[in-house]
């Protein structure tokens, strides 16, 4: 049987993990809370549940949305938003790929700016690493969608 203590421990663990990704611990706690609840949640409800101010919740939700970990749902006729954790591997991987593709574009531009061959080689190595990551992720997505006959994720 799941207890409130178990849920609190999970939410705390998510806060600690996302802090290691350079997101705030609060952002991670909000993400943990969202993952445990199926229905979209208001910012006020999140604040009450986690003992946070509305401003802190709003800032954290913007971070989660930017990372592709949550989405906001506007309420017709109101400025209020509901928020929910995004579902599934595909959305998370797609968001990660967008960030990686932006990094790849910048790294490629840096190749002409490097002061010598050693620096250019390092830029090339880093660029190729991220290109490989995106390529492998694209292959995983194709398999998940049934495009290559591979195992579904």
Please give the pLDDT value at position 54: 92
Residues 106, 112, 116, 118, Cα dihedral to 10°: 40
State how far the Cα of 32 lies from the Cα of 13, in Å rounded to an integer.
8
State how far the Cα of 28 lies from the Cα of 86, in Å rounded to an integer.
14
H/E stretch holding 58: helix 54-66
State how far the Cα of 72 lies from the Cα of 69, in Å rounded to an integer.
10
Does the pLDDT of residue 126 top 90, yes or no? Answer: yes
Taking CA atoms, 64 is separated from 25, 46, 112, in Å, by 12, 14, 34
Q: What is the pTM of this model?
A: 0.68
HSE of 87, CA atoms in CB hemisphere, 13 A: 4
Number of H helices, E strands in the chain: 6, 3
Q: Name the pLDDT band for 95 (thresholds 50, 70, 90).
A: confident
Annotated domain spans of the chain: 4-86, 90-147
CATH number of 4-86: 1.10.10.10
Does the pLDDT of residue 119 top 60, yes or no? Answer: yes
Rounded to an integer, the average pLDDT of 55-78 is: 91
Place of tokens 């509901």: 82
Rounded to an integer, the average pLDDT of 57-76 is: 91
State how far the Cα of 103 lies from the Cα of 129, in Å rounded to an integer.
11
Give percent of the chain with pLDDT exceeding 70: 93
């Amino acid at each position: 049987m799941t207890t409130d203590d178990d849920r609190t421990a999970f939410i705390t663990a998510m806060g600690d993990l996302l802090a290691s990704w350079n997101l705030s611990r609060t952002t991670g706690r909000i993400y943990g809370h969202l993952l445990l609840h199926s229905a979209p949640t208001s910012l006020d409800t999140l604040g009450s549940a986690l003992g946070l101010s509305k401003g802190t919740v709003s800032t954290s939700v913007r971070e989660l949305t930017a990372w592709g970990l949550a989405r906001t749902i506007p309420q017709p006729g109101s400025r209020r938003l509901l928020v929910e954790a995004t579902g599934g591997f595909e959305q998370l991987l797609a968001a990660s790929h967008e960030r990686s593709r932006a990094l790849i574009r910048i790294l490629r531009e840096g190749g002409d700016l490097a002061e010598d061959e050693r620096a250019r080689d390092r830029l090339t190595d880093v660029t190729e690493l991220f290109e490989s990551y995106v390529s492998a992720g694209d292959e995983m997505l194709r398999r998940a969608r049934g495009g290559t006959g591979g195992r579904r994720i």
